[in-house]
Structure 1
């Protein structure tokens, strides 16, 4: 393989790994938001039931 092909492959690998990390972080944030929303809904129901 030529040097250019090796450099190109390394750059593509770095882009792939960076996008995976961003996706994992995004999924983590979405999951945290879903948990927070569920907890808020539970508090609302609890508050309404105590009235």
Structure 2
């Protein structure tokens, strides 16, 4: 049915934006802060170990 083709592409577009938004949200809320915290901890450990 050719009249359903625009709805198919619109559905793909909405789904792609929803997946992209959810990936960005999960990374910014949960994954990236832990990496930042880990790098800060490594920086402090190296600074403390160089003092001795």
Q: Judge same fold: TM > 0.5, yes or no.
A: yes
**Paired positions, count:** 49
Among 33, 36, 39, the residue aligned to 1:37: 39
Please list every run of 5 or more consecutive structure 2 residues that lacks an aligned counterpart in the other structure: none
TM alignment of 1:11-30, pairs within 5 A? 11-27=12-28, 28-30=30-32
Instruction: Give per-residue Cα distances to partners, 1:1-51, cap 9 Å, x unaligned.
Output: x533222211110011112222234434333212101011112222233x1
TM-score (norm: length of structure 2): 0.60
TM-score, normalising length: structure 1 = 0.60
CA RMSD of aligned residues (A): 2.1
